[in-house]
Chain A
Amino acid sequence: MKQKRQWLAVRKDLLPTQARWLTLLSFLLPLLIWSLVSYAPFVWHPKIKVTEPASVTWFQAGMLIDKQLFFDEVNKAVAQGNPVPEGLRANPVYLPAPDEVAVAFYTAFVTEPKRRSEQWLHQSLWHSITIIFWGFLLSSLIGIPIGILCGTFAAFSKLQEPFVEFFRYLPAPAFGALAVAILGIHDGPKIAIIFLGTFFQQVLIISNTTRKLDTSLIEAALTLGANKMQVLFRVVIPGISPDLVRDLRVLLGWAWTYLIVAELIGTSSGITFFITQQARYNNFDNVFAAIMMIGIIGLVTDIILGKLSKRIFPWEQSQNKA
């Protein structure tokens, strides 16, 4: 009997083709809604773009006017027998259409900076990536070992975690001014904000992951003659590494969320500088393009890390399947 294609089976895997369609759809659906709002004139479009000012003196071609205001003027013109202004329904500037953003996505990279002090987009992006990299690296270099120690030895856990638990409720951006005072106005405080935003969560998440390792594996190692250090390095660390990589993938996402705040501190820089600058010029197509670039970079690094961990931990992957 042929297997019936079910879309909503509780806790069952989808067929590969089904899964592929749904993945595609998860991106297509938002795009479809966006296109609908942008291209279908009867959906939303709260503004009127003036094409022919006619008798209304303060209208100009290309002007965006509130619908109500425009119709008031039209009624006035009709009543007075003057030429009637014309216009098309339009969305506000802050919602560019997909095609505009697509064009901006390309032009943003090839447009020369307006002032000499400003950077090309790819330079801004690269700067943001280096900030994330250093902030996340420093956090991981300290956070991973402390997390593992806390998850392994109760003494470390009691010594560290109450304070960490307290500190993680302090919003990292609140330390902005302090970071600038200590580390100057350039990259130092930005890296510090990423660090503060990531580190405390990292310690807690990794210590939890470490604690979740099956105790019986540690007991087995002890009965096989392993000492404490051997248990730590030969059992705990290899045992948690797949979960550790998974944690780091989640935490890296958090680091990106702190980036925008971090880059506003001191001298504004990186992709955030580009976004705020473009928003000031009302180039919202560029703003959208830049936001999407962050999304794409995030998604691509996550996919790469995911593939990498499947390759490094072959035993994990098939264990999940079984």
Chain B
Amino acid sequence: MENLELPSYLQQSERVSERFKRLKDREVILEVKDLYKTFESSQGKITALNNINFKTHRREFVCVIGPSGCGKSTLIRILAGLETATSGQVLLDGEPKFEPGPDRGMVFQGYTLFPWLTIKKNVMFGLEMKGKSKASAEGEALQWIDLVGLTKFVNAYPHQLSGGMKQRVAIARALANQPRILLMDEPFGALDAQTRFKMQTNLIDIWRNIDITVLFITHDLDEAIYLADRILVLKGNPGEVQEVIEISVPRPRKPNHFLSPEFLATKKRLEELIHPPHNNEEPDRLNVIRMTRVGDDVEDADV
């Protein structure tokens, strides 16, 4: 990678910067202000999140990445209202939020479909909680199921579906509530690479066609770059925002963008942030002694 001539990851084409300008003109949906989260543990106080601040605009797609244990899951759970912050505020349309609610839809890594309900009933769940009549809830649910392409499975139970299909139902179920923001916590982490790529493309197709803002947590750099307008890079111990990167890869994104200069430049930057070089030492190598004949080599011979 070092030998490649790459542009700066900050450099944006005119069309891309014009798109970001349009984005920033839209109203702010979610604002996180001075967010702290500390846990008491036997080793004393642990700071999971340290002074997190950011905003997302309407119809923006924000990815949050960071090394494992950097508090990204804690962050999204606080945004969803499933955990409380030690201090700081989560504002949705300017209103502080402390409890979970249908205005922030959540998609979990573990699908979390209700196993005793059919696909249709799963998607109807949130609508019924709102007090919608069964008939209108059913009609709406069917539309959302159609949107994720699972009309054939409306009467199936979750255990009859593959992982990717389950996650599409979970997305439809969250969207059916028409939330202001869709929070996704490593939603494709449990899927195989091919299914994951298909799901990413599906998600983009949904996102570009409906009025929804997405906050998406992942540890997969390619996934983050492929999906996001902006990436929030966290670092661990304590969890802090390291950098917010505007992705210079043009939209609509295509598979061949994975090898484009903008993509590689961004990925290189993310690598630097997430895996900083350890004083040129190779970290954590196993100390394995040679147990094969001399000359029986699998790697290039020393010259």
Contacts and interface: CB of A to CB of B under 8 A. Distances in A.
A315 B159 CA distance: 7
Contact of A220 (B101, B106, B159): B106
A119 to B, nearest CB: 45
A221 B129 CA distance: 9
Contact of A314 (B82, B104, B157): B157
Interface stretch (B5-13, B109-117, B232-240, B258-266): B109-117
B173 A224 contact: yes
Contacts of A316: 115-116
B228 interface: no
B159 A224 contact: no
A219 B108 contact: yes
A309 to B, nearest CB: 12
A219 B82 contact: yes
Given A225-B102, A230-B129, A315-B157, A235 B108 contact: no
B100 A222 contact: yes
Interface in A267-322: 313-316, 318-319, 322
A219 to B, nearest CB: 5
A234 to B, nearest CB: 7
B126 interface: yes
Contacts of B106: 219-220, 223
A318 B161 CA distance: 12
Interface string A219-257: 111111111001000110011010000000000000000
Interface string B76-112: 0000111000000000000000001110111010101
A217 B81 contact: no
Given A224-B125, A224-B126, A315 B116 contact: yes
A217 B102 contact: no
A10 B108 CA distance: 34
A163 B217 CA distance: 45
B177 interface: yes
Contacts of B112: 214, 216-217, 219-220
Contact of A225 (B108, B117, B129): B129
Interface in B111-143: 112, 114-117, 125-126, 129-130
Interface string B172-199: 0110010000010000000000000000
B176 to A, nearest CB: 9
A225 B116 contact: no
Interface string A189-226: 00000000000000000000000001011011111111
Contact of B105 (A223, A239, A313): A223
A216 B116 contact: no
Contacts of A313: 116
Contacts of A234: 125, 129
A243 to B, nearest CB: 12
B147 to A, nearest CB: 17
A152 to B, nearest CB: 16
Contacts of A318: 157, 159-160
A311 to B, nearest CB: 14
B114 A235 contact: yes
Given A220-B108, A223-B106, A224-B129, A238 B100 contact: no
A234 B125 CA distance: 9
B78 to A, nearest CB: 13
Given A219-B108, A220-B108, A322-B159, A225 B177 contact: yes
Contacts of A239: 114-116
Contact of B116 (A214, A223, A238, A322): A238
Contacts of B110: 216
Contacts of A230: 129
Contacts of A315: 115-116, 157-159
Contacts of B130: 225
Contacts of B126: 224-225
B177 A224 contact: yes
A221 to B, nearest CB: 7
A225 to B, nearest CB: 3
B49 to A, nearest CB: 19
A39 to B, nearest CB: 51
Interface in B39-76: none
Contacts of A241: 116
A319 B157 CA distance: 10
A226 to B, nearest CB: 5
With a 10 A CB-CB cut-off, give which of A223, A239, A318, A319 has the most chain B CB atoms. A223
Nearest to B109: A216
A240 B112 CA distance: 15
Contacts of B183: 223
5 contacts: A225-B129, A226-B129, A234-B125, A316-B115, A319-B159
Interface of B: 80-82, 100-102, 104-106, 108, 110, 112, 114-117, 125-126, 129-130, 157-160, 173-174, 177, 183
Ranked nearest first, the 3 interchain pairs of A and B with the lowest CB-CB distance are A225-B102, A224-B126, A223-B106
Given A224-B129, A224-B177, A239-B116, 7 more contacts: A216-B108, A219-B82, A223-B100, A224-B102, A226-B129, A239-B115, A315-B159
